[in-house]
């Protein structure tokens, strides 16, 4: 990877990208859940009202920020090492890493593991863009 | 010998009651003022009081203004009353449609102890709670209206003389209870979900009890209106949470008819409060999506990382999964797995679209109705301006001497009949709207049961031993008979 020429953009973006992880996970989960699972997302019945639903979402998002940042910084290391010469290998590592992490964390639940895996792939694509743009 | 046996039985009863503690039941009901104290509430209080007495309880009853002789109940006398029916054209023009059938009377609730005025009621409850001993049990039943606040902990019971008792204030009253006294509650009012915060999953400090100290049931969440706030006026059309819950406890409906199947889920011969709640969930065709404190515990417990987890597995075969399937079957939603879910989604979407379309038509109708009403009312007041000043001698003279002429004039106006037809159509649409909302609630109920079935399984996998024990304690508290 080339040296960072736009450090301001680089640091700003690596702070913003982890914030997108949870919304990305929710979005991907909801699509998968609608297509293959219960489709229980965004039901007024479960949360009383849309206002309550929004409150729940915000609460989950604020809880997720620190773990998402930790996960994202962990992904920066393979990105730094692999993106320049073997970008496909970086994407593969992120996809498989996400799948394994999801599979372990959600006790072998396939759909949840798939959602985590796709989220990691999505974040990898964004990280790739950011690192190339900053270099 | 018989004498000795009798004495022994009496001694045993006295001893066992001293050991097991006493049961206290509080029944609090009525509105905050006569015009908001509908006869349905009074009928519910009388019915529930009878059920509680039949089951061996002696409820302490608090209702509106207590035993004061002033009218405190709003009744509906119906179109069979000729005098009231004759005034219908005037109320359609000058008041609200249907007002001519309203009347006030004093309540007919037996055994009332006192008024529900919040200050007096709080003092009475505080005193009663402070005197209770470990092992005693309280069942608190409310029948009345509730208010909504932005901070749901301030959602309140609307009590006599425009007073209120919020969920937070009620919690403060419970602080006076000995930790060995169990408190169970039933709140069916609008926005009652806020009172689920009264739950206390900590173990009841009495004889190594495996039950929670405080648990109960509410008709709706903290943000929803309950069925009791709808347009139903007839006794055979009562569909609020209390109607089903207490019917299950009584073994028959409020009209004396047999239940739709047995409410005794575990077949032990006694109906627990939770079984009555389950019966209500299964059979209530209403807009109430009732909740219990153990269900609320599950929703509150669920960690943020599990809340939005996609799930491909079939609905678990636990308490809630069975309920989801049963409610689906009762409402004729056939199929399994994703076929059923897709059907429910499609059906719900269709109902929501129908609600929106009906609301748009209703808004249009109300605009036209308002224009027609304004024109007609102006002409009426040009003829009889006394109608504008209802508390004057001129008004009284008009009502005494020229009422028939006024009514004949109104009846002779062509646009009055158009207005009456529009008002009737509006009322009919409100009923259609209510029916659609009831249908949507049935689907939401199935979705909620599926969600709870998932959370219950998650609790077993991700929850700590303490989490599991807290859930079990709340459930055991709810699953006791009256």
Decide if B193 and A48 are in contact by the 8 Å CB cutoff: yes
Range from A14-28, A35-49, B34-48, B463-477 carrying the lowest mean pLDDT = A35-49
Our CA dihedral for B315, B318, B322, B328, rounded to 10 degrees, sits at: -30
Distance from CA of A113 to the nearest CA of B (A): 9
Distance from CA of B265 to the nearest CA of A (A): 25
> Is B461 at the interface with chain A, CB within 8 A?
yes
Decide if A44 and B444 are in contact by the 8 Å CB cutoff: yes
Q: Is the pLDDT of residue A1 over 60?
A: no
Q: Is the pLDDT of residue A135 over 90?
A: no
Chain A residues in contact with B315 (beta carbon < 8 A): 38
Closest residue in A to B220 (Cα) is A48
**Residue A46 belongs to a domain:** yes
b/e per residue, B84-116, with b = 16+ CB within 10 A? Answer: beebbbbbbbbeebbebbbeeeebebeebebbb
Output the pLDDT for position B1. Answer: 47
Dihedral sign for Cα atoms in the order B389, B392, B394, B396: positive
**Residue A2 belongs to a domain:** no
Per DSSP bridges, beta strands B137-147 and B156-159 are antiparallel
**Residue A77 belongs to a domain:** yes
> Is B460 at the interface with chain A, CB within 8 A?
no
Chain B residues in contact with A45 (beta carbon < 8 A): 289, 441, 443-445, 447-448
Chain A residues in contact with B338 (beta carbon < 8 A): 36
Tokens found for residue B2: 């018989």
Distance from CA of B133 to the nearest CA of A (A): 37
Decide if B221 and A48 are in contact by the 8 Å CB cutoff: yes
Closest residue in B to A33 (Cα) is B310
**Residue A46 — pLDDT band, cuts 50, 70, 90?**
low
Dihedral sign for Cα atoms in the order B288, B294, B297, B302: negative
Give SS3 for B51: helix
Interface test with B, best of A40, A57, A71 (most B CBs within 10 A): A40
Decide if B308 and A41 are in contact by the 8 Å CB cutoff: yes
The answer to ipTM > 0.85 is no
Closest residue in B to A49 (Cα) is B223
Chain B residues in contact with A32 (beta carbon < 8 A): 310
B189 Rama sector, left if φ>0, alpha if ψ -120 to 50, beta otherwise: beta
Number of structural domains found in chain A: 1
Q: Map tokens 């297509």 to a residue.
A: A35
Output the pLDDT for position A3. Answer: 59
Chain A residues in contact with B443 (beta carbon < 8 A): 45
Q: Rounded mean pLDDT of A80-90?
A: 80
Closest residue in A to B316 (Cα) is A38
Residue B195 Cα to chain centre, angstroms: 13
What is d(CA B48, CA B44) in angstroms, rounded to the nearest whole number? 6
Decide if B310 and A112 are in contact by the 8 Å CB cutoff: yes
Tokens found for residue B73: 């109940």
Closest residue in B to A44 (Cα) is B444
b/e per residue, B467-478, with b = 16+ CB within 10 A? Answer: beebbbbbbbbb
Output the pLDDT for position A117. Answer: 95
* Residues B278/A5, Cβ–Cβ less than 8 Å: no
Q: Is the pLDDT of residue A83 over 80?
A: no
Distance from CA of B201 to the nearest CA of A (A): 22
* Residues B133/B207, Cβ–Cβ less than 8 Å: no
Distance from CA of B41 to the nearest CA of A (A): 25
**Residue A1 belongs to a domain:** no
Chain A residues in contact with B341 (beta carbon < 8 A): 38-39
Closest residue in A to B315 (Cα) is A38
> Is B338 at the interface with chain A, CB within 8 A?
yes
What residues of chain B score a pLDDT lower than 70? 1-19, 230-237
* Residues B281/B249, Cβ–Cβ less than 8 Å: no
Chain B residues in contact with A113 (beta carbon < 8 A): none
Chain A residues in contact with B299 (beta carbon < 8 A): 46
CA angle, corner B266, sides to B264 and B270, nearest 5?
A: 50
What is d(CA A50, CA B91) in angstroms, rounded to the nearest whole number? 39
Closest residue in A to B225 (Cα) is A48
Chain A residues in contact with B448 (beta carbon < 8 A): 43, 45-46
Return the H-helix or E-strand segment holding B401.
Answer: helix B393-401
Q: Tell me the residue range of the domain where A94 lies.
A: 7-134
Cβ contacts of B102 within 8 Å, gap of 6 or more: B74, B75, B76, B77
CATH topology for the B21-300+464-478 domain: Rossmann fold (3.40.50)
B311 vs A33, A49, A64: nearest CB? A33
Output the pLDDT for position A50. Answer: 77
What is d(CA B417, CA B420) in angstroms, rounded to the nearest whole number? 5
Q: Map tokens 């627990």 to a residue.
A: B272
Phi, psi of B351 (to 5 degrees): -65, -40
Q: If interface means Cβ-Cβ distance under 8 Å, which residues of chain A face chain B?
A: 25-26, 29-30, 32-33, 36-41, 43-46, 48-49, 51-52, 56, 59-60, 63-64, 105-107, 109-112, 114-115
**Residue A11 — pLDDT band, cuts 50, 70, 90?**
confident
What is d(CA B358, CA B344) in angstroms, rounded to the nearest whole number? 21
What is d(CA B326, CA B318) in angstroms, rounded to the nearest whole number? 12
Output the pLDDT for position B337. Answer: 76
Tokens found for residue A9: 């953009």
Return the H-helix or E-strand segment holding B159.
Answer: strand B156-159
B447 vs A45, A48, A49: nearest CB? A45
* C-alpha distance from residue B167 to each of B299, B415, B475 (Å): 19, 50, 21
- CA R_g for chain B: 26
Closest residue in B to A46 (Cα) is B448
What do you get for the CA distance between the two ends of chain B, in Å?
Answer: 35
Distance from CA of B233 to the nearest CA of A (A): 26
Closest residue in B to A45 (Cα) is B444
B310 vs A29, A52, A63: nearest CB? A29
């Amino acid at each position: 990877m080339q040296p960072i020429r736009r450090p301001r953009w680089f640091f700003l973006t690596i702070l913003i990208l982890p914030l997108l992880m949870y919304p990305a996970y929710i979005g991907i989960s909801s699509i998968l859940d609608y297509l293959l699972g219960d489709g229980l997302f965004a039901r007024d019945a479960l949360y009383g009202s849309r206002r309550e639903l929004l409150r729940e979402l915000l609460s989950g998002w604020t809880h997720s920020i620190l773990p998402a940042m930790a996960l994202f910084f962990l992904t920066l290391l393979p990105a730094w090492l692999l993106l320049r010469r073997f970008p496909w290998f970086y994407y593969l590592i992120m996809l498989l890493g996400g799948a394994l992490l999801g599979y372990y964390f959600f006790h072998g639940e396939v759909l949840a593991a798939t959602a985590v895996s796709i989220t990691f792939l999505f974040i990898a694509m964004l990280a790739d863009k950011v690192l190339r743009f900053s270099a | 010998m018989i004498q000795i046996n009798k004495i022994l039985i009496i001694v045993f009863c006295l001893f066992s009651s001293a050991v097991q503690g006493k049961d206290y039941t509080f029944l609090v009901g009525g509105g905050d003022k006569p015009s908001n104290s509908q006869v349905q509430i009074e009928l519910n209080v009388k019915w529930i009081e009878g059920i509680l007495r039949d089951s061996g309880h002696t409820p302490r009853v608090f209702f509106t203004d207590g035993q004061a002789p002033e009218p405190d109940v709003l009744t509906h006398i119906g179109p069979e009353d000729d005098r009231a029916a004759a005034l219908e054209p005037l109320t359609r023009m000058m008041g609200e449609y249907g007002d001519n059938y309203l009347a006030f009377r004093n309540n007919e609730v037996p055994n009332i102890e006192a008024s529900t005025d919040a200050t007096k009621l709080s003092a009475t409850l505080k005193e009663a709670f402070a005197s209770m001993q470990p092992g005693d049990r309280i069942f608190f039943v409310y029948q009345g209206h509730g208010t909504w606040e932005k901070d749901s902990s301030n959602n309140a019971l609307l009590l006599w003389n425009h007073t209120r008792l919020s969920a937070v204030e009620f919690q403060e009253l419970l602080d006076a209870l000995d930790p060995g006294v169990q408190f169970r509650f039933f709140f069916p009012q609008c926005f009652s979900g806020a009172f689920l915060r009264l739950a206390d999953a900590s173990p009841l400090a009495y004889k190594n009890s495996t039950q929670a100290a405080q648990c109960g049931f509410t008709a709706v969440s903290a943000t929803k209106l309950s069925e009791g706030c709808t347009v139903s006026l007839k006794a055979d059309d009562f569909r609020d949470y209390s109607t089903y819950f207490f019917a299950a406890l009584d073994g028959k409906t409020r009209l004396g008819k047999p239940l739709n199947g047995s409410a005794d889920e575990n077949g032990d011969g006694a109906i627990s409060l939770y079984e009555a709640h389950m019966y209500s969930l299964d059979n209530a065709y209403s807009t109430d999506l009732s909740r219990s404190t153990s269900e609320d515990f599950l929703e509150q417990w669920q960690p943020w990382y599990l809340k939005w987890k996609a799930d491909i597995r079939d609905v678990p075969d636990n308490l809630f999964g069975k309920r989801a399937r049963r409610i689906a079957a009762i409402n004729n939603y056939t199929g399994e797995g994703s076929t059923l879910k897709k059907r429910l989604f499609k059906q719900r979407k269709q109902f929501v679209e129908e609600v929106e379309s009906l609301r748009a038509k209703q808004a249009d109708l109300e605009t036209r109705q308002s224009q027609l009403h304004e024109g007609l009312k102006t002409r009426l007041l040009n003829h009889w301006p006394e109608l504008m000043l209802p508390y004057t001698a001129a008004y009284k003279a008009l009502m005494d001497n020229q009422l028939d002429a006024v009514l004949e004039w109104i009846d002779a106006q062509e646009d009055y009949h158009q207005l009456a037809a529009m008002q009737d159509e509006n009322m009919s649409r409100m009923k259609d709207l209510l029916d659609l909302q009831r249908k949507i609630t049935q689907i939401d109920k199935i979705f909620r049961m599926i969600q709870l079935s998932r959370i219950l399984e998650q609790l077993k996998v991700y929850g700590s031993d303490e989490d599991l024990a807290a859930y079990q304690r709340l459930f055991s508290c709810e699953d006791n008979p009256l």
